[in-house]
Every structure is written in C-alpha cells, then in structure tokens.
C-alpha cells in the first residue's frame, strides 16, 4: 500500500493553500513596492519595502520557532492567516479612502512579514 502524502486529499489541500498564500503574499509585497514608487518616485524607498518585509521575517523565525513547536499548528496557521487578512483589509481601506501613505505601507509590510513567518512549515 502506498502511503505517499501526495495521494492524501488533506495534504494536497494544505499544500495548495500554502502555495497560494505564499505566492499571493509575495505578489502583494511586489505591488506594495510599486505603490511606494508611485507615491515617492524613489527606487531606494521601493526596495525598503522588501527590507521591511524580509528582516522581520528572519528575526521572527529565529525567535518564534521554539515556541510555535509547542502550539497546535492548525490554530497558529488560522490565527496568522486571519491577522494577515486583517492587515490587507486595512491596507485596502486606506487605498480606497485615499489615505495611503508611506508609513502605512511600511507598517503593513512589516506586519505581513511577521505574520507569514509564524506559520509552521
């Protein structure tokens, strides 16, 4: 009997959801960097969105790893994805109300980098 995880429906659904979330998050960071460029015209500030996204991710991995292993993975995944969704809803609200500023984008990028990191792999 073949016990490959690739043949189990729950694994495939989880893998597709994680792949979609990862690709969507990276695409969102790309779009946020273009929003910064559109607001400021500065390529340096455009790249700082990626720094604001990646540095917290690396630091949060180092700090939260041992603690997340003690928690239920499903609960952590759901909680962190809802936190990310709330951040994107707030960012979308700022876009539609024309209140999008550089600190809002940087804060969201930092928030998204932290939330993506706490999801157990």
**How buried is residue 121: exposed, middle or buried, by Cβ count under 10 Å (0-12/13-18/19+)?**
exposed
Other C-beta atoms lying within 10 Å of the C-beta of residue 109: 25
**Per-residue confidence (pLDDT) for residue 5, from 0 to 100:** 64
pLDDT tens for each residue of 20-58 = 887 888 888 888 899 899 989 999 999 998 888 888 878
Print the domain residue range for 74: 5-117
Specify the DSSP class assigned to residue 71: S
R_g of the chain, CA atoms, integer Å = 17
Cβ atoms of 84 and 112 closer than 8 Å: yes
User: Which burial class, exposed, middle or buried, applies to 21 when counting CB atoms under 10 A from its CB (0-12, 13-18, 19+)?
Assistant: middle
Number of separate domains in the chain: 1
CA distance 24 to 84: 11
Q: Residue 114 in contact with residue 90, Cβ under 8 Å? A: no
Which pTM was predicted? 0.75
pLDDT in tens, 64-102: 777 877 888 778 888 888 888 898 899 899 989 999 899
């Amino acid at each position: 009997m073949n016990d490959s995880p690739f043949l189990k429906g729950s694994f495939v659904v989880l893998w597709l959801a994680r792949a979609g979330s990862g690709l969507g998050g990276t695409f969102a960071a790309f779009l946020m960097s273009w929003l910064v460029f559109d607001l400021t015209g500065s390529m340096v500030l455009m790249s700082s969105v990626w720094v604001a996204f990646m540095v917290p991710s690396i630091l949060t991995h180092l700090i939260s790893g041992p603690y997340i292993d003690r928690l239920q993975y499903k609960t952590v995944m759901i909680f962190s994805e809802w936190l990310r969704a709330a951040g994107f809803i707030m960012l979308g609200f700022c876009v539609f109300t024309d209140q999008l500023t550089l600190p809002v984008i940087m804060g969201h990028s930092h928030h998204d980098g932290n939330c993506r990191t706490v999801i157990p792999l």
